[in-house]
Amino acid sequence: MADAKLITPGMADSLLASPLRIGDGLTMPNRLVKAAMAEGMGGAATKYMPGPKVLSLYKCFAEGDWGMVLTGS
């Protein structure tokens, strides 16, 4: 799986790398957002539930420098 880390040393001072406060208590560590999308990795073999490929993909997002990961269907 490709490296999901997006904040590079050259971006450390950019607006994208700065924290963003949302409401009264939530502060995102940066302004990078992974949008909800259809990854096309589910199917009849997994009874349309997230399988190992989806879990591996979202693990990369979780371990990367994403400020927010939106999911949905």
Kindly state whether residue 35 falls inside one of the protein's structural domains. Answer: yes
Give the total number of structural domains in the chain. Answer: 1
d(CA 40, CA 51): 11
State yes or no: pLDDT of 14 exceeds 60.
Answer: yes
| Residues 33, 39, 42: CA angle, nearest 5 degrees | 140
Half-sphere exposure of 29 (CA within 13 A, CB side): 10
Phi, psi of 60 (to 5 degrees): -60, -45
pTM above 0.85, yes or no: no
pLDDT digits (tens, 9 = 90+) for 22-62: 999 899 999 989 888 777 777 788 888 888 888 888 888 88
For residue 1, the model assigns a pLDDT of: 45
Domain hosting 65: range is 9-69
